[in-house]
Amino acid sequence: MTSLPQGKQPALRVMPMPADANQNGDIFGGWIMAQVDIAGGTAAGRVARGRVATVSVKQFVFKQPVQVGDVLSFYADVVSIGTTSITINVEVYAERRPADPEVVKVTEATLTYVAIDRDGRPRPVPR
């Protein structure tokens, strides 16, 4: 059985709702991808001390379906910091069935963000 990463605070925790699900009750992959981008962007924005924009996402592989009622935890770790870019790895875990708890890893992705100024142009990441 998988467990949540110990000693780490999630960048985001959210419970998907029925509007986020397809006709079979599974949560849309695109909805999960958007939440991953929010979690990664929040972490990158802290490092950049301001606005960031997503410039690339490495592959998503969905290992487990997500259902309405699962509590999703998104853990974001800085992989690297460049002159104007920040690369973040985001891991997603689902906690399900409170009566018979189970934790499963849902997906992970590596995203790269660029720090931008108010005109949307790249700017240096503060050191």
Asked if residue 92 has pLDDT above 90, the reply is yes
Q: Judge whether residue 58 has pLDDT over 70.
A: yes
d(CA 93, CA 122): 32
Number of domains making up the chain: 1
Domain harbouring 40, CATH code: 3.10.129.10
Percent residues over pLDDT 90 in the chain:
90
- Whether 111 is in a domain gets the answer yes
Q: What is the mean pLDDT of residues 23-47?
A: 97
Residue 119 predicted with pLDDT over 80: yes
Of 87, 95, 93, nearest to 106 by C-alpha is: 93
Q: Tell whether 123 is covered by a domain.
A: no
pLDDT of 57 strictly over 80: yes
Is pLDDT of 1 > 80? no
* β strands within 16-101, DSSP E: 52-57, 71-81, 85-96
pLDDT digits (tens, 9 = 90+) for 109-118: 999 999 999 9
